[in-house]
Chain A
Amino acid sequence: MTSMLNVRDLHAYYGQVQALYGLSFSLNEGSLTTLLGANGAGKTTTLRAICNMVRSTGAIEFDGAPLSGKSTESIVRLGIAHVPQGRGTFTTMTVEENLQLGAISRKDTAAIASDIERMYEHFPVLKERHTQQAGTLSGGEQQMLAVARALMLRPRLMLLDEPSFGLAPLVVRDLFKILGKINREDKVTILVVEQNAQLALELADQAYVIETGRIVMSGNASDIATNEDVRKSYLGY
């Protein structure tokens, strides 16, 4: 397998405050990787650094080409979809408009229409509500919409920031099932940041654990899940 995303020696800063200290990791093409860690460990910052939404130094390469210096929107246009924390739903627009926005950088208008239909198959609830204002959806439905919106880009890499945040456990299970399906069937490489380590490790094949802005552990998700020490000291369950 070739590595699709390569992050080396990443440092990131919010104003004067440093959030990442020399983070390095890589994602294999087609993998489903999870980035675990406690609150404030730097998970969100890592995703934001990949999309150049926070000041950072170090090397980030996508398909061998450096991303540094590129604007957020041009990074997204390379096929990197980012579902931010809080979902970033366009609440005043309809569900369908949200999906169209996901594909706004694509030129193949005919395929967009069929992709929207495909999203409605993945997420039937969105079809029911397609003319409704997105702000009126429940938290779980909005998260579905956010994932669907990201998929509308036809991304090669999808970054998800705590998709389980604020959702009922059953809804989370559904969502993760869909993520697994997208990864397998649509061949989308996925990096998911989670606090819910148990679930994320069930889903993922690779895992990284980060603490105070550094990678402290990496390996197969199943190995990490079964490693008693790691679980106790870093994942807390």
Chain B
Amino acid sequence: MSAAAEDAVTEAPAVEAVPKRALSLGTGVSLAILAAALVAPIFVKNFVAFQMTMVMIYGLAVLALNILTGGSGQFSLGQSAFYALGAYTTAVLMENVNMNYALTLPIAGLVSFGAGFLFGRPALRLSGIYLALATFALAVAMPQFLKLHFLEHWTGGVQGLVIIKPDAPFGLPISQDKWLYYFTLAITVAIYVGSINLLRSRSGRALMSIRDNEIAASAMGVDVALYKTLAFGVSAGITGIAGGLSAIVVAFVAPDSYTINLAIALFLGMVVGGVGWLPGSFVGAAFIIFVPNIAESVSKGLSGAVFGVLLFIVIFLVPHGARQVAIVAQQLIGKLRK
């Protein structure tokens, strides 16, 4: 049967797909959020600033997954491996080579990009569930790999590595946590803006054409293999930078911080934020950071169940994630203006 004819008559989904232009929030809303993010640390405690920093870091990792899944339609359960790779690159460079923390990040990104690109090559032949399984293998292998004996000299083995948290530069009178908040914010904004421009560019359109119909895309002259591999690389690279940032901010890396659970959490973050909608990445990140804590406070013994129930409630109410909320809000505002 012809898929095209079938698609043409399939009932429209509950929520219209996000138009490709609407990958981001409007300029006004974006600037307002940025302004709020800039002044927020003044009013909060160090620990809250630390948590907000973690939201941005996880947000970057979720965004990276969004570029892969929402952009090119590939699915990965292996993001924790690239995150670990970035974290360890930063940690090893800082501890063993005494490199400045800021300089380690581009290297962490490049190393992860390379790994992602190399992995993406054989993974080309796999899609859907098969790709999920392959990336899953990567996620399971990574912590074991980091524990291997002959790497222990650099990686610290099971114990991991403790890093010295950097102070604010130029004698700025703010705490380490708040300095790292601003440091992370700057990187986050840069990557976010870069990602949106990437997806809106020619390459981004090529990626999305692959997501929507791979065969048709290749028939239109899109180099499917190259773009899919690049998407893997870019996604891994951003995840690596997020991992590197987390190493600096948490001041500690250990193999068991980067298990498959992290990859699953990042996946949940993507779903809760809305697949393919980049601003949602940060909403999703907040969900995976705060909701487990909330569940824990409701009931210690049943925290898993409470988390599961909360997750069900969210996906029942907004099966398309935060982007559904954004669309509804936009429509409401549109109606009010009339």
The answer to whether B16 and A166 have CB atoms under 8 Å apart is no
Of the listed stretches A87-95, A111-119, A149-157, A212-220, chain B binds A87-95
Which residue on A lies nearest to B4, using beta carbons?
A: A86
Q: Which residues of A contact B8 (CB under 8 A)?
A: 85
Contact status of A86 and B6, CB under 8 A, knowing A15-B16, A91-B1: yes
Q: Which residues of A contact B12 (CB under 8 A)?
A: 14-15, 17
Q: Does A11 contact B (CB under 8 A)?
A: no
The answer to whether A165 and B9 have CB atoms under 8 Å apart is no
User: Which residues 234-277 of B have a CB within 8 angstroms of A?
Assistant: none
Q: Does B27 contact A (CB under 8 A)?
A: no
Q: Does A125 contact B (CB under 8 A)?
A: no
Tell me, in angstroms, the Cα distance from A44 to B5 when the chains sit together. 11
Interface centre among A15, A16, A86 (most CB of B within 10 A): A86
Tell me, in angstroms, the Cα distance from A124 to B16 when the chains sit together. 45
Mark contacts of A2-16 with chain B using CB atoms, 8 A cut-off: 1 yes-contact digit, 0 otherwise.
000000000000111
**Count, chain A residues at interface, CB 8 A:** 20
The answer to whether A85 and B5 have CB atoms under 8 Å apart is yes
Interface centre among A85, A88, A165 (most CB of B within 10 A): A85
Tell me, in angstroms, the Cα distance from A54 to B9 when the chains sit together. 9
Interface residues on B, range: 10 to 19
Q: Does B2 contact A (CB under 8 A)?
A: yes
Q: Which residues of A contact B9 (CB under 8 A)?
A: 44-45, 48, 84-86
Which residue on A lies nearest to B3, using beta carbons?
A: A86
- What's the nearest-Cβ distance from chain B to residue A137, in Å? 11
User: Which residues 59-94 of A have a CB within 8 angstroms of B?
Assistant: 84-89, 91
Tell me, in angstroms, the Cα distance from A63 to B8 when the chains sit together. 31
- What's the nearest-Cβ distance from chain A to residue B12, in Å? 3
- What's the nearest-Cβ distance from chain A to residue B127, in Å? 18
- What's the nearest-Cβ distance from chain A to residue B314, in Å? 23
Which residue on B lies nearest to A139, using beta carbons?
A: B2
User: Which residues 1-60 of B have a CB within 8 angstroms of A?
Assistant: 1-2, 5-6, 8-9, 11-13, 16
The answer to whether B5 and A165 have CB atoms under 8 Å apart is yes
The answer to whether A54 and B11 have CB atoms under 8 Å apart is yes
Q: Does A53 contact B (CB under 8 A)?
A: yes
Q: Which residues of B contact A54 (CB under 8 A)?
A: 11
- What's the nearest-Cβ distance from chain B to residue A39, in Å? 10
The answer to whether B11 and A14 have CB atoms under 8 Å apart is yes
Which residue on B lies nearest to A161, using beta carbons?
A: B9
- What's the nearest-Cβ distance from chain A to residue B152, in Å? 51
Q: Which residues of B contact A17 (CB under 8 A)?
A: 12
- What's the nearest-Cβ distance from chain A to residue B205, in Å? 24
Q: Which residues of B contact A87 (CB under 8 A)?
A: 1
- What's the nearest-Cβ distance from chain B to residue A72, in Å? 11
Tell me, in angstroms, the Cα distance from A204 to B228 when the chains sit together. 51
Q: Which residues of B contact A142 (CB under 8 A)?
A: 1
Q: Which residues of B contact A166 (CB under 8 A)?
A: 2
Contact status of A88 and B2, CB under 8 A, knowing A15-B16, A17-B12: no
Can you pick out 16 interface pairs between chain A and chain B where the beta carbons lie within 8 Å of each other?
A15-B11, A17-B12, A44-B9, A55-B11, A84-B9, A85-B6, A85-B9, A86-B1, A86-B2, A86-B5, A86-B9, A87-B1, A89-B1, A91-B1, A142-B1, A166-B2
Which residues on A are within 8 Å of B, measured CB to CB? Answer: 14-17, 44-45, 48, 53-55, 84-89, 91, 142, 165-166
Given A15-B12, A86-B1, A87-B1, 16 more pairs with CB closer than 8 A? A14-B12, A15-B11, A16-B16, A45-B9, A48-B9, A53-B11, A55-B11, A85-B5, A85-B6, A85-B8, A86-B2, A86-B5, A86-B6, A86-B9, A88-B1, A91-B1
Nearest first, the 5 closest Cβ-Cβ pairs linking A and B are A15-B12, A86-B5, A86-B1, A14-B12, A86-B6
